[in-house]
């Protein structure tokens, strides 16, 4: 009987912790909702494709400059396999099982590599990070760990004339 009470007690404590984590996650989402707002929609015309699609893992989107302050609004906080493609008008991030993220060219402030992002730590320069401004004006960092890291230099190369807003980084915020 004593053992049964211990098991019931431990299950109750575990359930309490799970409930508290869920409640905290929901509170954080409510607090971030105003600063995140609605994401940009994918335009009908993307322009010419500048870089071949890159497959990998979407590591999440964080509030800049904190690499661990993950955005939990909607499905932005969930990791997913994804395909990243660069177009004249912006960057398209197609995630499996989640909404597409469109990053307009004029919103991009930097594209750089980092060691870690959104709680995911890799080898040096293992994560491609895109810093951009949401329509609300909030700066965010979107992380992507590519399957083929040899494509990173093409992504972080300085922008061509007529494509303002992209710069290489090295910011370890």
Considering the domain 49-156 in this protein, what is its CATH number?
A: 2.30.29.30
pLDDT tens across 33-45, in order? 878 888 889 999 9
Distance between CA atoms of residues 34 and 71, nearest Å: 12
* Structure confidence at residue 12 as a pLDDT band (50, 70, 90): very high
Distance between CA atoms of residues 8 and 15, nearest Å: 10
pLDDT tens across 113-168, in order? 988 787 767 777 889 999 999 998 889 999 999 999 899 999 988 764 444 444 44
- Whether 134 and 73 have beta carbons less than 8 Å apart is answered as no
Sheet holding 108-114, edge to edge: 101-104, 90-95, 80-87, 49-63, 139-146, 127-133, 108-114
Task: Count the residues in the chain.
Answer: 173
What is the longest distance spanned by two Cα atoms in the chain?
76
The per-residue pLDDT of the chain, averaged, comes to: 85
**Among 81, 66, 53, CA closest to 151:** 53
Q: Where are the domains of the chain?
A: 49-156
* Token representation of residue 124: 């040096």
């Amino acid at each position: 009987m004593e053992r049964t009470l211990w098991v019931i007690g431990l299950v109750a404590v575990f359930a309490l912790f799970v409930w508290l984590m869920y409640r905290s996650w929901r509170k954080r989402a409510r607090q971030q909702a105003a600063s995140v707002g609605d994401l940009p929609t994918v335009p009908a015309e993307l322009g010419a494709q500048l870089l071949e699609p890159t497959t990998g893992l979407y590591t999440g989107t964080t509030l800049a400059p904190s690499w661990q302050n993950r955005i939990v609004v909607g499905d932005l906080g969930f990791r997913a396999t994804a395909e990243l493609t660069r177009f004249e008008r912006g960057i398209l991030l197609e995630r499996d099982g989640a909404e597409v993220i469109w990053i307009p060219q004029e919103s991009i402030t930097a594209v750089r590599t980092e060691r870690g992002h959104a709680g995911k730590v890799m080898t040096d320069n293992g994560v491609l990070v895109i810093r951009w401004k949401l329509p609300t004006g909030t700066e965010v960092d979107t992380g992507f760990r590519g399957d083929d890291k040899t494509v990173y230099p093409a992504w972080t190369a300085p922008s061509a004339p007529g494509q303002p807003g992209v710069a290489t980084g090295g910011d370890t915020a």
